[in-house]
Amino acid sequence: MPKTLLVMNIKFKRLDHIMLCIPPGTEQQARDFYGGVLGLQELNDLGYPLPHGAIWFQMGDIQLHIRAEDVQAVSQRHPAFEVDNLEEARAILEKHGVAIKNDSKIPDRNRFSFRDPFGNRIELIEMIA
């Protein structure tokens, strides 16, 4: 007779933060890209020190955490962010010389991805009404 397993469900509420890695010594370039090009607000005065030289940005109702780490192989791992203005986002990125990759079609959304200056893949999505 098979054993009965007690199944407990984790009750996820929301995404709190995403952490991306950058090569050591490129912190200012990260600030320029995420703060300047993408227009995110850097979080400087949280009332406590950030761990291990991390750089934190506010991104809607979640945070983006950036930390230096030795370079890893390029990966398809990525965060995907929903935006209200996908074509405007495309224009902003292209204006800054960021290469856009048009990803495969998904019926209920438009999307594309790009790599930040550190090789992290980022996807932007706009839901189709």
Mean pLDDT of the 103-122 span: 90
pTM for the model stands at 0.74
| Neighbouring residues of 26: CB distance < 8 A, sequence distance ≥ 6 | 68, 117, 118
User: What separation in angstroms does the CA of 79 have from each of 44, 54, 75, 114, 123?
Assistant: 23, 18, 12, 11, 6
Task: Take residue 109 and report the two structure tokens written for it.
Answer: 């959304």
> Which tens digits make up the pLDDT trace of 18-29?
989 999 999 999
Mean pLDDT of the 107-124 span: 92
Residues 86, 101: Cα–Cα separation, whole Å: 13
Instruction: Report pLDDT for 93.
Output: 94
Domain boundaries in the chain?
17-127
Instruction: Report pLDDT for 18.
Output: 92
Strand, coil or helix: what is 115?
strand
- The answer to whether residue 13 scores a pLDDT higher than 90 is no
Quote the CATH superfamily of domain 17-127. 2,3-Dihydroxybiphenyl 1,2-Dioxygenase, domain 1 (3.10.180.10)
Which one-letter DSSP state was computed for residue 70? -
Confidence of residue 2 (pLDDT cuts 50, 70, 90): low
> Which tens digits make up the pLDDT trace of 36-90?
999 999 998 888 788 777 999 999 999 999 999 887 777 778 898 999 999 999 9
Give the residue ranges of DSSP H helices in 10-83: 27-30
